Structures are given as structure tokens and as C-alpha cells.
């Protein structure tokens, strides 16, 4: 695997979401540091456009989400827009649907959480496959303070990550947890010094990209879908996915590389 890094910037159509390609890794940065990277409709537009772009590009193999600056990942929704929301907005559930798309995205996703991850920011992180936190990261779902609930997947994803009882406590109290507690309860997968956050996220992604791309996609699919069903159905999904992989060129290359004591060249099997 090469260490060469190239950077390009696809046009997302907005100045509040930055995107760049580093090697085969797309980095999406919410860029509103003056308001702690709060989410508004323009940010959601930018993320949607970025995902559209990455789906079209063959040179993107994974996506990392982060926030601009050192203080905030994403500190929730923009309250100035929340004031005008109606029942129709609740049913439309735009942010929830966007995060569903991120959760189901074919490519691996990593949240590099640098600072505050509150409300919709916490929910964005939870929709990613892997969450890596800087030591200064803080997580919370304080929506009840505003007379609403975590409506972008928080009521469902949090309990699946940390358990029902702890999720209820965090949602009902709105308590904010630091990075070490987030690691202890399973909300994040690792904690690193702030100045190592992006390097760690990129190295994690590059490790994944060294694996068989079809195997990674199917593993992600089976784990996600299996968590939503009973074990017997999950095991059936596992068998079906494994059967597809057994018949793939990717499996042949991986096994041959192991026996020949050389790195696998999975890129040769994906075209």
C-alpha cells in the first residue's frame, strides 16, 4: 500500500462543508467554527452533496467526518432554525434520513470527534461505523432541555451502543460525558491526544482499505443488519455473504497472497 497522498476538493456547492481526498480517504469537515459547527440546512445540503460525489468516484474508499477547529466536532443543530420547525418538519426528519444514509453507506465511515459532539453532532458520530475521540471530546444528547427528543437517530442508536438503561439515563438527564467515560461505556472505540486524532483516523481507515473491499462491504452490511434482527436470521445473512465471497476473485487473491507470503493486491480484483 502506497503512502502517497493526493488531495482534491470536489464541489459540494456550499462553503460550510469542506471536502478533500487524501489518498483514497474522503475527509468531510463541518466548517462553522464560529457557532461550534452547528448543523443547519446548508450543512446538511453540503453533506448530502459530498456523499453523492463520493458514490460517483472510484478513487474514494472510505469517509472520515470531523469538525473545523479544535473545540467542536458538531455541537448540535442550529437553534435559530429549530424555533421555526413544525410537525411537518418532524415527519420529514431530514437529519434522521441523512444519518440513516451514512449508517448504510457502502464505504466504511469514521467519526474523528474533536471537541463537543452534542445533539445532532453526537447522532452524526453514532451513525458512523467507528468513532475515534480526542481527549477533549464531550458527548451528550441534551434535546430534552429544549422540549424535544433526540430525533436524528439518538433514541435508537445510543441504546444499541451503550445499552438501554444507560441510554435512557443519558437522554432523560441530558448529561454530558467526557471522552474517557464515552470509551468506558462503548460510545467511542478509542481516545487519543487531540494532535493525533486525524492521523489516527486516517491510519485506521488505511488499515481497513488494505483488506478485501467486497469483504469489508459485506461484513459491514451483515453486522449492521444482523444487529436489527434475531441471531438465526443474522447467521443466515452471514452464510449468504460468505458464500458470495468464496466465489469471488477477492478470496482467491487473499488466499494466494497468504500462501505466497506477499501482500494481497485486492485492487487487481475490483475491476
Q: Report the catalytic residues.
A: 123, 143
Q: Which three cell numbers, joined as nine digits, stand for 235?
A: 447467521
Measure the CA–CA gap between 220 and 235, rounded to whole angstroms: 14
With vertex at residue 42, the alpha carbon angle to CA 5 and CA 122, rounded to the nearest 5 degrees, is 70
Measure the CA–CA gap between 66 and 30, rounded to whole angstroms: 6
**CA within 13 Å, CB half, 168:** 2
Amino acid at each position: 500500500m502506497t503512502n502517497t497522498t493526493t488531495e482534491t476538493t470536489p464541489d459540494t456547492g456550499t462553503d460550510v462543508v469542506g471536502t478533500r481526498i487524501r489518498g483514497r480517504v474522503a475527509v468531510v469537515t463541518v466548517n462553522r467554527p464560529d457557532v461550534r459547527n452547528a448543523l443547519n440546512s446548508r450543512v446538511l445540503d453540503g453533506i448530502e452533496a459530498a456523499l453523492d460525489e463520493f458514490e460517483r468516484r472510484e478513487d474514494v474508499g472510505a469517509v472520515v467526518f470531523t469538525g473545523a477547529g479544535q473545540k467542536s466536532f458538531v455541537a448540535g443543530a442550529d437553534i435559530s432554525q429549530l424555533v421555526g420547525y413544525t410537525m411537518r418538519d418532524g415527519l420529514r426528519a431530514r437529519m434522521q434520513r441523512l444519518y440513516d444514509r451514512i449508517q448504510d453507506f457502502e464505504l466504511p465511515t469514521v467519526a474523528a470527534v474533536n471537541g463537543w459532539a452534542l445533539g445532532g453532532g453526537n447522532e452524526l458520530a453514532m451513525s458512523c461505523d467507528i468513532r475515534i475521540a480526542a481527549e477533549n471530546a464531550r458527548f451528550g444528547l441534551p434535546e430534552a432541555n429544549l422540549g424535544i427528543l433526540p430525533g436524528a437517530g439518538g433514541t435508537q442508536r445510543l441504546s444499541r451502543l451503550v445499552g438501554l438503561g444507560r441510554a435512557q439515563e443519558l437522554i432523560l438527564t441530558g448529561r454530558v460525558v467526557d471522552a474517557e467515560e464515552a470509551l468506558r461505556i462503548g460510545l467511542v472505540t478509542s481516545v487519543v491526544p487531540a494532535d493525533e486524532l486525524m492521523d489516527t483516523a486516517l491510519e485506521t481507515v488505511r488499515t481497513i482499505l488494505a483488506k478485501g473491499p467486497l469483504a469489508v462491504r459485506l461484513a459491514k452490511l451483515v453486522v449492521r443488519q444482523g444487529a436489527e434482527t434475531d441471531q438465526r436470521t443474522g447467521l443466515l445473512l452471514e452464510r449468504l455473504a460468505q458464500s458470495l465471497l468464496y466465489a469471488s476473485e477477492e478470496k482467491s487473491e487473499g488466499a494466494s497472497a497468504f500462501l505466497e507470503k506477499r501482500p494481497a493486491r485486492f485492487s487487481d480484483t475490483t475491476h
